[in-house]
Amino acid sequence: MSVLAYDLGAGSGRALLGHLNDREMETVEVHRFKNEPVKVGDRMYWDILRLHHELLTGLTLVKQRGEQPESLGIDSWAVDFGLIGSHGELLGNPYHYRDTQFGGMMEQVCKELGRKAIFEKTGIQFLSFNTLYQLAALRRGGSPLLDGAQRFLMIPDLLRYFLTGDAVNEFTNATTTQMYNPILGDWDRDLLAHIGVAEHLFGKAVMPGTGVGQLRGSISGDLGIARIPVVAVAEHDTGSAVVAVPATERSFAYLSCGTWSLMGTELDRPAISEESLALNFTNEGGAGGTFRLLKNIMGLWILQESMREWEREGQAIGYAELLQQAENAAPFASLFDPDDDLFLPAGDMTSRIREYCRRTGQVEPQDQGAVARSILESLALKYRIVLEWTERLSKQSFGGLHMVGGGIQNRLLCQWTANSIGKPVWAGPAEGSAIGNMAVQWIASGAFKDIWEARRVIRDSFPVKEYEPEQRSVWDHAYGRFLQVTGLAQSRTGSEV
């Protein structure tokens, strides 16, 4: 029994085949490809047609293996979207969430409506690039796209539409837009009206596991393959990653670690409160009718962007060598808050790290190892305070932290996270989003009865490495300094600064 999972991250994408044999899952990577934004003039776009081409390449490679998947599903990053016109074609290339035209719009909309009112409607974390503010920026900037649009589709919705011709919105990704009301179970009409976006663009969001058509006849004919059924999985990649968390208890904390880090827990209902608003947590939809109480953390983007910067300057370094240099660098010399707005844009990352350290009276990291160490230590320390907040908001205490995603291949980050939180870290599986994508497809087919049966099989099928905390007193001292340097000290008992 095989399924095909497309897992698209903000830097790369992959197509994996999943096989389920005798209650054991196996994955085979069929295709891996870059996902690089394209800058034209002052605008930054996703290369969406290239991504569609890569999906078709994945289908061709599956055919060459002699495989016939029973279904396929797509997951990706959140918030970004495409608009379909009356002729059924895409209106313009989807903008990248880091495009500068969206800057300042969140503050403007929040001033008009109030953060509390927006949060009570949506339960979603305030991020400057949320879809709500992207659409508001397009409308107020006089973009012609919205006037000609007939349907709004997020990235997985859009790629599914290219494959099937069926325009369908999916629940987990819809909730990330800050335009979906989880209490009403529908798009929030008041928010849409305020930003001047027509309701008819948005279809009712289907739940993960819903069948949403099959491959177009033209695609199956061109490629010489069957019209494979397509399933709307948990299409926000974090939603899929959480499905793959091999937890043994209903109460667990997770960290989905990649370009972004997302830490939280799984709840039966959204936790919309003054405290979750103050700490800027989010309540995103999950598979099986659950909600993901979590917080976005900048993640390995800062390290990835630093490495791209070095490559542009002719100082490229391999990942393994960089981690070795980081391990040998002086500890806790240069700490910063990874979520400072300073680190959101692309570009010269290392000078911004030095700027932060100069501003806070710390040593400015100079060589590559010192920069990498400052990034990884700062992430590990930020994870600790976010875990404390998660326990507080969910009224739970967690015995450890499940880490999933590509970031778990960074052994320093895993070990330093365990050191920082003072609890075990269970790292695995690495391909969490793709595995969760597959699991939802198998739940849809009846091969698994629910998420918890899928998690038991995942736990038995993929290795999990345990990291025990070390050097507790050293890391406790560093945490205290981190809180002071970042201005987050009062958030342990009050609200986020």
Full 3-state SS string of 221-276 = HHHCCCCCEEEECCCEHHHHHHHCCCCCCCCCEEEEECCCEEEEEEECCCCCCHHH
Do 247-428+464-497 and 2-237 have the same topology in CATH? yes
Instruction: Look at residue 242 in the predicted model and tell me its pLDDT.
Output: 97
- pLDDT tens per residue, the chain (497 residues)? 899 999 999 889 999 999 999 889 999 999 999 999 999 999 999 999 999 999 999 999 999 999 999 999 999 999 999 999 999 999 999 999 999 999 999 999 999 999 999 999 999 999 999 999 999 999 999 999 999 999 999 999 999 999 999 999 999 999 999 999 999 999 999 999 999 999 999 999 999 999 999 999 999 999 999 999 999 999 999 999 999 999 989 999 999 998 899 999 999 999 999 999 999 999 999 999 999 999 999 999 999 999 999 999 999 999 999 999 999 999 999 999 999 999 998 889 999 999 999 999 999 999 999 999 999 999 999 999 999 999 999 999 999 999 998 899 999 999 999 999 999 999 999 899 999 999 999 999 999 999 999 999 999 999 999 999 999 999 999 999 999 999 998 665 444 43
Instruction: Please report which residue ranges of 395-430 form alpha helices under DSSP H.
Output: 411-421
Active site residues: 237
Phi-psi region at 471: left, alpha or beta (left = phi > 0; alpha = psi -120 to 50) = left
Q: How far apart are CA 454 and CA 27, in angstroms?
A: 14
Superfamily of 2-237 according to CATH: ATPase, nucleotide binding domain (3.30.420.40)
Instruction: Look at residue 491 in the predicted model and tell me its pLDDT.
Output: 62
Residues 6+ apart with CB under 8 A from 284: 78, 124, 172, 175, 176, 236, 238, 239, 291, 292, 294
Domain ranges, ordered by start, for the chain: 2-237, 247-428+464-497
Whose CA is closest to 48, among 99, 96, 14?
96
Domain 247-428+464-497 has CATH 3.30.420.40: yes
pTM: 0.92
Instruction: Look at residue 494 in the predicted model and tell me its pLDDT.
Output: 46
Preceding omega of 345 cis (within 30 degrees of 0): no
Please count the residues of the chain: 497
Instruction: Look at residue 495 in the predicted model and tell me its pLDDT.
Output: 44
